[in-house]
Each structure stands twice: as C-alpha cells, then as structure tokens.
Amino acid sequence: MMIHLAAIDVGNDGVKAIFETGKGIILPNVVAEAPADRGVVSLESSLYEGIHCRVTSPSLVKSGVYTVGNLATRYSDNHEPEPGDAKSSNDQAIIMLLVTLAIDAAKHGEANSNGVVECRYALSTGLPLKEIKKPGTKEAFRDRLMGKVHEVEFLQTPEIGKKVVRIEFDTVSISSEGQAAMMFLVTDEQGRIKNEELLNKSILINDIGGLSTDSAVIERGEPDNMNSDGLNSGVSEYLDTIIEQVYERYHHRIRSRRNLVRDVLLAKDERKNHILVDGKLTSIKDVVDEVLTACAKAQHDHLGRMWKKVSDVELVFQIGGGSALIRPYLTAVNENSRHVYPLRWQESADESIWMIVESYWKILVLSKRVTPAIEGV
C-alpha cells in the first residue's frame, strides 16, 4: 500500500492540513453528535459545509456519528475544545485528525474491490508544550494512532457521501507546537538555513492558540527545554466572554467561536465588530476592545514571567491564530507598558496561522527526503 504524507495542526480554533496535493482548508474544530439520517431535503453545496460521518476507532471512548466543522457550528449542542482539555487524550482531537485525513483520502484515493478506500499515512503533527513536557505523553498519543485501523464512513455529505475510508499510520512524528516554529523561521522550503542571524540569538517563540500558549525558548538555535514553558490559556476563554456579553446585552446568540472570529472579528467590510440586531448592524466594538485588551494584558504579563526566567532574550516572535487576533491590542499594551518587549510579528495573519503546520510539513519532508509538494512549504 502506498504511503501518503500529511502534516496536521489540530488547533483549538481550526484544523490546518498539508498533503502532497497541497494545502487543505481550515476546518473549524467543532463537532456535534448527529443521527445517521439528519433529515436533509437537499445536501449542502460544498463538501466542507456538510461533513456528516460515522467515525469508528479503537482509540475513541465513543465511536459514533458526528457532524464536523461548519455543519457542526449550526447545532446548538456542538462541542468546541474547552479549557482543561488535553489534546493528547481527548476524543475530539482524534476525530478531527481522522476526518481531515479521510477527506483527503476520499477525494484522491481509489476504492478497493469492496468499495473501501484504504490509506496509509506518514503523519507529522504536534502537541502543546505543557503536554509534551509530561513524561510519556508523546508515546501515549502516538499509540492512539499507530498499529490500529481507523474507519470514517461519510454519510449525507456532498461529493463524498457513502464513501468508506480506512486509515492506518506508517509513522507518526510529534513535535512541540512552539518549538516546531523555529524550523519555519530559520529554513527555506528545501530545509536550507535562510536566517543564520537567528541561530546566533536567544529568542522566544510565543505561539498563542485557543486554549494554550506555547513559549519556546531557543538559545542559539537549540531548544532550551528547561526554560521553555507554556500557559494554560489562549484566546478561547476571551472569545467565550465576548459571546456571553453579546448575548446578555443584545440577546443575539453567536453560534461558535469560529463564527465570531470569521464573521465578526475578522470581517473585511462594515460587518467587522458588528452583529445584526433586528436586522440592523449594531456595533459591539466596545465589548471586543475591552475583552481582547484583557487578553493582551494577560499575554504581556506572561511575557514578563518568561523574561524573569530568561533575561537575555533578544527577540520575541508572536505566532499562531491568537496572536493575529490580538496583535493591535498586544502592541498597544506593550508600547504603553513600563516593560516594552521586542515583539516581532509575521508579515500576514495568514502566515502566522499556517506557520506551525508548515513547520510540521518541513519536518516530514526532510525525514522522508522528498521534494515539497507546495510552493513556500
């Protein structure tokens, strides 16, 4: 059986993936239990708007039928990752990972004589630094994937409905989410050194996610495992606060964090920081500014604690989807603080969001000694 390559970042907001065929889309990390017949009159126009599948795996506490991603955000009883969830041990991370792989397999794989698409993957992924530092965590997470057959059957799903995918893993490489970013910063798409200056500095890579923040200390190109640390907090709890305050004030329910980020906070038009109340655009900028400023202050305090541990840090790289979201707020907090840290940002929010999975892809490509499939990775 041919081995396919995949790099997946199971983020608390969304799942980013890179395959040999190129980048996937960002799949919202939202699931909801559903019946096998969801009573649709007509299927959604896009595969990614109607993911409905049965996931069966010996690694899951509960195999079952789920809606996933955008479709799951429409269910009132959907589930997003919560504070305290350990990515290495909860079911949702495994479900999202398997479904993401199964979509790739269903779209590009060939079915056998029994009508089943069988795929074997070499996977590169990661875990938060706080989890990586716990003895045995990487091995336990790898054991949940390796040596097992996982099955995803797509049910009432556009384009790939009725397809059954069986997934096995040839190898599973697990990196620290924060430390993997060093690969992106200092190497080009062939893995050659592109930024030698950083190899001679002490830097901090602060990866702000949904439920956690990974703060990787890199001393002259080498990870400082002793002082690298993390924070059991990201932006998700602050997004939840915005959703709660908006409902209390306007009785307008924002269905998920993903909807809040996509449709309100990052909207490109007059809808930015606005919601519809009785059909009229209503600003919630005061709520957004207050809550995200609080998030930025918490991150700035965290940087202060890191600075006390490693006082010779020369640069701080802010990465991850959370950093893109709070950039203007953290910049303002930093500039008006007694302690002004040398913050560095990626050129675009998109680059910041995709950096970690692109790092996983580089690690995988170099380990397999193959040519990268997509430009810039």
pLDDT in tens, 141-150: 999 999 999 9
Q: pLDDT band at residue 369, thresholds of 50, 70 and 90?
A: low
271-316 pLDDT, tens per residue? 999 999 999 999 999 999 999 999 999 999 999 999 999 999 999 9
25 falls within a domain: yes
258 falls within a domain: no
278 falls within a domain: no
Owning domain of residue 53: 3-178+354-368
Q: pLDDT band at residue 376, thresholds of 50, 70 and 90?
A: very low
Q: pLDDT band at residue 193, thresholds of 50, 70 and 90?
A: confident
Q: What is the dihedral of CA 242, 74, 357, 57, to 10 degrees?
A: 130
Side-chain-side CA neighbours of 292 within 13 Å: the count stands at 23
333-357 pLDDT, tens per residue? 999 999 999 999 988 888 888 989 9
CB burial of residue 340 (10 Å; 0-12, 13-18, 19+): exposed
216 falls within a domain: no
260 falls within a domain: no
Domain count along the chain:
1
Q: What is the pLDDT of residue 370?
A: 52
Q: Are 158 and 46 in contact (CB under 8 A)?
A: yes
How far, in Å, CA of 219 to CA of 44, rounded? Answer: 50
How far, in Å, CA of 48 to CA of 159, rounded? Answer: 10
Buried b (16+ CB within 10 A) or exposed e, 297-310: ebbbebbeebeeeb
Q: What is the pLDDT of residue 371?
A: 47
319-332 pLDDT, tens per residue? 988 999 999 999 99
* Residue 231 confidence (pLDDT) above 90: no
CATH number of the domain bearing residue 33: 3.30.420.40
Mean local confidence (pLDDT), 213-241: 90
Among 41-45, 175-179, 242-246, the least confident range: 175-179
Q: Three-state SS for 257?
A: helix
How far, in Å, CA of 23 to CA of 332, rounded? Answer: 33
Stronger pLDDT, 41 or 342, i.e. the higher one: 342
257 falls within a domain: no
124 falls within a domain: yes
61 falls within a domain: yes
* Residue 19 confidence (pLDDT) above 50: yes
